[in-house]
Structure formats: C-alpha cells, structure tokens
Chain A
Amino acid sequence: SQTIHQWPATLVQPVGSPLSLECTVEGTSNPNLYWYRQAAGRGLQLLFYSVGIGQISSEVPQNLSASRPQDRQFILSSKKLLLSDSGFYLCAWSVPAGVTGELFFGEGSRLTVL
C-alpha cells in the first residue's frame, strides 16, 4: 500500500533562518507531488507541484523553493524565513494522469516563525 510521510511535524524558527521540510512517498512510482500551505483557519494554498524528477511548477512567487531530487522525494526550502511563512504545510501525492486521481496527504508540518 502507498504511504506518505513528511517531517518535521512541528518547528519553531527565527526570522531569517533557513527552512527544509521533507516529504517521501512509498509504494508507488512517478507520482505527482504537491506542497500546500494553510494559514490558521484558512484554506489550502497550492505552493508547488511536480510531475517528475527535477520538474517543479511554482504557483505563488515567494521566498520558498521546492526540489525533487528523487522520484518519491519532495523538499520545501527557504534561505531566509519571513513571519508570513508561518502556517501548516501539507505534502500530498496523486497518480500522474487522469482526473480521478485524488490527493493523498501527509501528516502536515506546523511552522511558527518568530
């Protein structure tokens, strides 16, 4: 069966510090991978998605970046965090083709920037 894990689950970082969130998927190959951010009590904002190794589509211009060094690994990074980067970050995967592919989510990473 397929599983998705992301870490760390919780982190508190000072403004201007770097960030690295990691997500891995098991039990499937060539998945689409996604990073979403959710501000407190708000909806999910699509940040990045990837259809293959090294292929990243960015949805929102910001100081975040994403990389996909391996087929089932997706990393969200920042060189210098801003206060506005605080939120709940969700990694997800879906099958690579067809509209019937729902998203399967990781457990989430709660980031607080102080």
Chain B
Amino acid sequence: AQKITQTQPGMFVQEKEAVTLDCTYDTSDPSYGLFWYKQPSSGEMIFLIYQGSYDQQNATEGRYSLNFQKARKSANLVISASQLGDSAMYFCAMREAYSSASKIIFGSGTRLSIRP
C-alpha cells in the first residue's frame, strides 16, 4: 500500500537561509508522481512542485526544488533563500499510476516558521 511519511512536525529557520523538508514514501507501483503543497494559515492549498518517478532530472520551480532520490524513496523539498511569507504548513503527496491511479494521499505535514 502507498504511504507518505514526513518526520519533521515543525521547523524554525532564519530568513534568507535555505531549508530542506523531508518526505519519504512507499509504493510498489513502478510509475508514480510526487507533489508538494503549501498551506498558509488561511487554509488554502497551494501546489508548489511535481516530480514524476521516471523524470531524469530533479524538478525546480523558482525557489523550490525537489531532491528526488528514487532508490531511497525520498522526495525532499528544498526552499532556497527563505522568506517570511514561506511560513506555513507543507505537505508531501503521492499518486500511483496503476494500482490506485485516482488515489492521492498526503503526509502529516511540516510546519515551517521563518524567523526575521
């Protein structure tokens, strides 16, 4: 069965520093996608970045990059030059291609707090 694990309940980072949010996953499906979402205190869910299991390169979107290590089944989110507005909950999610193609599950999240 598919599973997503985020082991960091909360993190504090100084403004302008880089931060890495951990995500590990478990699946027996050879094809899958991994996503990261940001949830500010307002509650809205903001899509940040996507990584496909067959992608050769790590995904990047502006200040966000995904450190994808397939053999270790990890998909860590890296935020460069953190800003105060990055303070939020961050969720890792996974979607399998075959065994349960329509099911998308989330990790428990990491609360990131940026210090000025």
Contacts and interface: CB of A to CB of B under 8 A. Distances in A.
User: Is A bound to B?
Assistant: yes
Interface of A: 32, 34, 36, 41-44, 46, 49, 51, 57, 59, 88, 90, 92, 94, 96-105, 107-108, 110
Given A57-B102, A99-B31, A103-B47, 4 more contacts: A34-B104, A97-B101, A102-B47, A103-B93
A49 B91 CA distance: 19
B35 A102 contact: yes
A32 B105 contact: no
16 contacts: A32-B102, A42-B108, A43-B106, A43-B107, A43-B109, A44-B91, A51-B102, A99-B95, A99-B101, A101-B95, A102-B47, A103-B35, A103-B45, A107-B43, A108-B43, A108-B44
A43 B32 contact: no
Interface residues of B, number: 28
B33 to A, nearest CB: 4
Q: Which 10 A-B pairs have the closest CB atoms?
A: A99-B33, A43-B108, A105-B45, A44-B106, A99-B97, A43-B109, A108-B43, A32-B102, A102-B47, A51-B102
Contact of B50 (A41, A97, A100): A100
Interface in B23-52: 31-33, 35, 37, 43-45, 47, 50, 52
B50 A102 contact: yes
Contacts of A44: 91, 106, 109
Contacts of B6: 43
